[in-house]
Structure 1
């Protein structure tokens, strides 16, 4: 019986040999060489697509080995290849989504801009205070010219993970806008993760994903809205409200410009 090592499992054992034969992938390797030499020869002589397929099949061969040893589960070479190809396709699709998300990271408005006639902006942001173990949020509603309409802020006990706090703040903003029966709303957030999660509409099994699902449910009741990623420099007013809200004991709504916000609003319009 041949000695079992990584090179034997992924290259020289009968199952591995059948896999490579079915894929028409032929590499000249010295049976006495080590796995690093084998990989070097592959990476130096093969295309990216062949390397990707080799890596995925090799990983599945090792996984198959573990299944045989620990669970007695044997798979045919054809099945091993099919699983590997399916996993490779899923990985490639994930890279495409990641690439699209990465391309949008450099985008984003750098300062507040006036909107089209009849539209309102709702800026949303959070502040997390780890030392005090609390998080707060702020939402600001303005008309098309940037004039103040209303604002809310509130605090939660616990220093939440930033993306979770941002999602919670967006949920608060949606509920608030829904209660006001406002329409034609442009939601502006400086959290790319929240914006992408709302646009991609893919289920994420986590607390963050649960909040996004709640947001998606609430937003269905709104008419004429859009969600926009903006840079922090375009979201200073909402962040100012969030920091101010950390000193309150409950959710607060302002229907006139609060003293701490007047200077920021003036700066936005200049």
Structure 2
């Protein structure tokens, strides 16, 4: 909902504006540009989904031109805002599955799916009578203003003799700039996979033109090797040398370690890399398999 009200979703209109796509037309109705307002609210194909519980809101927002205006009206009037948010989420999730050519539920069923999701959320967030002590969790933190953070991770698929590399680049608002996965033949050691994942992440950011970056991963060995200025006789020292050569091409670079809890999206990308072609990139979004992890991480840090 935060990204929707900020018009920060990767709709076809936004991607066309950023020169990623050339055609902004909605692929569902094929009549208007797919803006945030259109794809979540005004597309004529969504009429069946919204008329069940929000026909009054439809009438109240006839003069609205942005999704933010619709949401403000929903907040100001006696509407079920939580249910509205869940239905929006179901519509966006369905839109992404359609874009990928996957099977989707009928629009008539979206209200029941949103109701089930809301009920599940309310049960999960209910405060117990005697809640346990609250501990400060380790989480992903956004970079400083005008900086970009690159998170990387790896996964090993021993049965397939392959390894997966995952990386994600986000700005200081937590918005995705780009994400990538790669599947490679399994190297001789796990340590080798970790530094290969770091190198791939650095090269990916460099190719996209970012110049003030923070490279962050949960591998202490890889981070320590990249930050060390002394000569290393390790088997992966030549890869570390490559990483330092790429790092020198950025204007500002910081390399830092985090725990797994602060690296969950990159971890998810690496774990699911085998579900995609050998090398995949996403601009301003993450694959559906990692979207829930990204959403949870973003909500916790905005």
Q: CA–CA distance in 2 between the matches of 1:257 and 1:175?
A: 19
Q: CA–CA distance in 1 between the matches of 2:272 and 2:253?
A: 27
Match of 2:155 among 124, 127, 139: 127
Q: Which runs of 4+ in 1 moved over 2 A?
A: none
Checking the alignment, whether the CA contact within 8 Å between 1:121 and 1:143 is kept in structure 2 is: yes
- 1:141 Cα deviation from its structure 2 partner: 0.6
Which of structures 1 and 2 has the larger relative contact order (alpha carbons within 8 angstroms, sep 6+)? 1
- 1:205 Cα deviation from its structure 2 partner: 2.1
Match of 1:143 among 166, 171, 181: 171
Residue in 1 aligned with 2:239?
A: 211
Residue in 1 aligned with 2:186?
A: 158
Residue in 1 aligned with 2:292?
A: 263
| Number of corresponding residues | 162
| Runs (5+) with no aligned partner, structure 1 | 1-108
Residue in 2 aligned with 1:182?
A: 210
Listed one character per residue, the Cα deviations across residues 169-195 of structure 1 (whole Å, up to 9, x for unaligned) are 111111111111102111111011111
User: When the two structures are superposed, what TM-score results if normalisation uses the length of structure 2?
Assistant: 0.51
Q: Mark the structure with the bigger radius of gyration.
A: 1
Q: CA–CA distance in 2 between the matches of 1:247 and 1:161?
A: 23
Q: CA–CA distance in 2 between the matches of 1:173 and 1:259?
A: 20
Residue in 2 aligned with 1:197?
A: 225
Q: CA–CA distance in 1 between the matches of 2:222 and 2:234?
A: 13
Q: CA–CA distance in 1 between the matches of 2:188 and 2:281?
A: 23
Q: CA–CA distance in 2 between the matches of 1:152 and 1:244?
A: 11
| Runs (5+) with no aligned partner, structure 2 | 1-136
* DSSP-derived class of the 2:174 partner: coil
Listed one character per residue, the Cα deviations across residues 200-259 of structure 1 (whole Å, up to 9, x for unaligned) are 122222331111111111111111110110001111100111111123342110113321
Checking the alignment, whether the CA contact within 8 Å between 1:130 and 1:159 is kept in structure 2 is: no
